[in-house]
Amino acid sequence: MGGLFSRSRPEAPSPSLVDIKKRQEAEAAAAQARKDAEDARAQIAQLIQSNQESQQKAMDAQQEAMRAAAASQEQTHKEMMAMVQAERAANEARILAETAAHAASEEAKQRAAEAEEERKRTAAIQEQARKDAQAAQERAEKLQEAANEEKKKATAAQEAAEASKKMAEEEVKVANAAKEEAEHKLKTGIQPVVTPTEEEVRAAKRKVQYREDLFHFAVAGVAGGGKSSLINAFRGLHNRDSGSAATGVTETTLAMARYANPNAEYPYVWYDVPGAGTLKIPDWQYFNAQGLYVFDCIIVLFDNRFTMTDIAILTNCRRFKIPTYIVRSKADQHIRNIMKDLGYDSDDDEEDENQKKKLYQTARQQFIQQTRRSVKDNLENANMPDQRVYIVSNEPMLGVIKEKRPKKVIDEIELLNDLIGEAQTRRARRDAEAATAAKDK
């Protein structure tokens, strides 16, 4: 009977090696996902520390990576829990199957089928976890690439800023060097070169009523040098005559005055330039401030001393290629003063006329020699080429203009002839240039 009623009990289903390997791969994938998430978080944290300027963007990347890692970790945790639950369910199913196997094999098969379904569902969860981990890793890589790009941009911006800073520092150095050089030149007497603009030249010509058909003489120099009286003499006028330039003991010209030549044979215009010292203008700015660069010829007039103002005028005239004539005025007064130093008394009626003539000739020669030597020394000290100085007096000059052949002339005739020759030469050159320009057209 035992043989008839005994039958073999069905064995409970056990996980296959393939299932175990897949579960191990799922666990390894989950562990790798966690490791990848941790690595991504570490890399993002490192990027945040290395790039301060893109800190906000890196922090956003880190937060995004952390959220992805947290989501992945959460998903992995759920999957682990599901695996545990599945395993527990499988064990329970196995136990139930073993228990139920005694009662009915069909129920055991059903349980086994449910366990298989649960295993499949667990495998699907694991596959989804792997895909999620891979997606999280891809997102982390993209975020890292974006952070690297931001770092490159920040580095480039920093390099550009450093280059701009270096350029600014170089410009500051150049400016400081130029400032130091200018200050050194001012301290050592070397004045800066100031070139007028085209608009300033046009404005200066409008101011002096410049005309191409006229020749423009400017008489410039320090205040009180006798500029107005000399202009009157050039125009054949006494200081008291109508239409003459105003004269006085002190400087009377505070604005440039224009005087046409009365003799139409000589189309000249004379300009009485305010004397240096009457205006609040440094000596080295006197030339440009008065617009002397527009004149055809400049007479540098001085009375007692040849000054730095005169040197500055001559220097600028050379730069603008303007012909200049150095003139010392009031020769008659200076000769009389030397005669007094030699013992001459004008109130002595018994003074011998021959003695007076001898004293005059001695004083005249002394004055001429002193003047020429003084101007020569001043030009040498200023590193300028030697130039003739014309010694004149207003009365003899007026006599020369009126063709009266005065006796006590010194350089009046030579000065007048040289000025006329200068004007004629410049006029001929202008006519030739105009003819050439017309021919070219």
pLDDT in tens, 82-93: 787 877 877 887
Residue 2: the pLDDT is: 43
Give the pair of three-digit tokens for residue 352. 């011998």
pLDDT at 245: 80
Residue whose entry in the numeric block shows the structure tokens 């609040």: 280
Q: In sequence order, which residues have a C-beta less than 8 Å from that of residue 386 and are 6 or more positions away?
A: 376, 379, 380
How far is it between the farthest Cα atoms of the chain?
Answer: 194
Strands of 324-328's sheet in order across:
257-260, 268-272, 215-220, 297-302, 324-328, 389-391
Please give the model's pTM, rounded to 2 decimal places.
0.57
Measure the CA angle with vertex 320, ends 263 and 197; round to 5°.
Answer: 105
Distance CA 61, CA 50 (A): 14
Q: Which residues contact 324 (CB under 8 A, 6 or more apart)?
A: 297, 298, 299, 300, 313, 314, 317, 318, 387
Structure letter (DSSP) for residue 254: S
Alpha carbon 21 to its chain centroid, in Å, reads: 75
Tokens of 276: 């240096």
Number of H helices, E strands in the chain: 12, 6
Residues 6+ apart with CB under 8 A from 314: 300, 324, 326, 379, 384, 387
Strands 389-391 and 324-328: parallel
Q: Tens place of pLDDT for every residue, the chain, 441 residues?
A: 444 334 445 555 566 888 888 888 888 888 888 888 888 888 877 776 776 666 677 577 677 878 877 887 888 788 788 787 877 877 887 887 777 667 767 776 888 888 888 888 888 888 887 888 788 788 878 888 887 888 888 888 888 878 878 877 877 776 566 556 555 554 444 456 678 889 999 999 999 999 999 999 999 988 778 899 999 999 999 888 887 887 764 555 567 899 998 888 889 999 999 876 555 566 667 888 889 999 999 999 998 888 888 898 999 999 999 999 999 999 999 999 999 888 877 666 566 788 888 889 999 999 999 999 999 999 999 899 999 999 999 999 999 998 878 888 999 999 999 999 999 998 888 888 888 888 887
pLDDT at 5: 39
Instruction: Answer whether 44's CB lies under 8 Å from 61's CB.
Output: yes
Alpha-carbon span 359 to 171, nearest angstrom: 66
What per-residue confidence (pLDDT) applies to 420? 93
Q: Are the C-beta atoms of 155 and 54 separated by less than 8 Å?
A: no
Dihedral, CA of residue 117, residue 118, residue 121 and residue 127, to nearest 10: -120
Q: Residue 63: what pLDDT? A: 79
Which residue is listed with tokens 């030597």? Answer: 373
CB neighbour class for 135 (10 Å; exposed up to 12, middle 13-18, buried from 19):
middle
Domain 198-440, CATH homologous superfamily name and number: P-loop containing nucleotide triphosphate hydrolases (3.40.50.300)
**pLDDT for position 378:** 93
Residue 1 confidence (pLDDT): 42
> What does the block give as tokens for 225?
């040098």
Strand-pair category, 324-328 with 257-260: unpaired
